[in-house]
Structure 1
Amino acid sequence: MQITIPPLVTIFDPIADWRKPRGKRYSLISLFNFIVLAMLCGKTSARGMARWGKYMPAGRKSRLGIKPHHHPSAAMLCRVFWQIKPEALEASIQAWVHQVHQELVAAGIARGIAIDGKSIRRAASLGSPNAFLVSAVCHQLRIVLTQAAVEDKTNEISCVPPLLERLLLKGLVITVDALLTQRAIVRQIRQAGGHYLMYVKGNHPRLLWSLEARFAQPQPRNEPPFLYF
């Protein structure tokens, strides 16, 4: 089966160019490609990206649409970051990921999704100790398919059903931790044609006892010993 995966750069197509025609040195797609490559090389700041681009080989610059003796400055990259709306970019990325995931599911390559909640990195140091996200991750792609924020005074369980509604579950194995081992979640996965693999711990004592009793080794019968002559 032939797999058709759209190029990653297509996620930037819905973003309109806000700049005036006069004075443009780089096309918007060239700047986006430059930023993506810089991030893949470990550059996480505008200044680091600009310094990285300064020493980029001329051949690679030309492939990005950048002249050999030029490179985007840190100020220019900051202006790009300020103008991009995170919600629009995230929606475009998720649309691309879903398209890729559906192609891999149809080809039998993607077979599982892991759902788990994690606290946002460095959230506590920035004054938000209770910032959590529930994410659905494809095992084979190792990429987040979709995610949802856990609102204050709630828990991860209430965020999972809307998350599952946005996913293709038919024929896939959904894995969750012990907190998300809930009948409603199991019912929703099965109704969508999916399968599940869940942990059972002490927070479900009756279910844990039933499983332990079901898979316990049978006790040997009290048979009389053999007599040897």
Structure 2
Amino acid sequence: MRRLFPVTDLTAADDRGEWSLDALADAYAYPDTDGSWLRANMVSTLDGAAQHDGRSQPISCASDMRIFGTLRGLADVVVAGAETVRLEGYRPARAREAFAARRAAAGQGPAPAVAVVSGSLDLDFSLPLFVSPLVPTLLLTGAGAPPDRIAAARRAGAEVVIAGEGSRVDPARAVRELADRGHRRLLTEGGPRLLGQFVAAGVLDEMCLTLAPMLTAGDAQRIAGGPSVAVPERFALASVLEEAGFLFSRYRRI
């Protein structure tokens, strides 16, 4: 792996060109801010596909997964849409020794919480994500969510967070509710509809995008879908890493 931007004489790689997890954690550290910081992590092919056969794994690579793990290792909470949780087979976040000292110094628990966004709460609450996480899973839903599903979620050990009216979750309110619970370093892994909602609400601070050197054609979703913004929001390039033709870029809101 090599750094393409910003250009520097310093290197974080070893003699084989591999970056340590500590070096990646330094490169992707959250900014020092008094408020919350929402970053997204997504992968896309050259022709804009965010998935293949309904999943992101076929367009990923080993280095992409190392960065994926690093971003999780730095976050207070991982936010994902219900459909992504179902399709990707989400499990509880793990405590990793490589990030233990860094998390302890930042006042974080051993692993990030997972927050699932769902208006209907149509989820299998017998899965490990709900019954055996290190940190209780949060469910972000609307005030009109079915009471029986709220009760089932709570019986499974999940924390239900009301973050909208009716069956809709308000993206800005979801960020505030998580921050009020001490989750200021937020990471969303999609899916595309949820990311599109965060973009449209103007609450996304940072975009971590892996560009895969692949073409898929077809009608796969882009990394963000749903409502459009009236005026495209400009982000500034913060860094670019490269390995085996994959580009690992990071953009921040201007």
- Report the TM-score range of the alignment, normalised by the length of the smaller protein: under 0.3
The structure that is helix-richer by fraction is 1
Q: Which has the higher strand share?
A: 2
TM-score (norm 2): 0.25
Higher relative contact order (Cα pairs below 8 Å, separated by 6+ residues): 2
Computing the radius of gyration from Cα coordinates, the structure with the larger value is 1
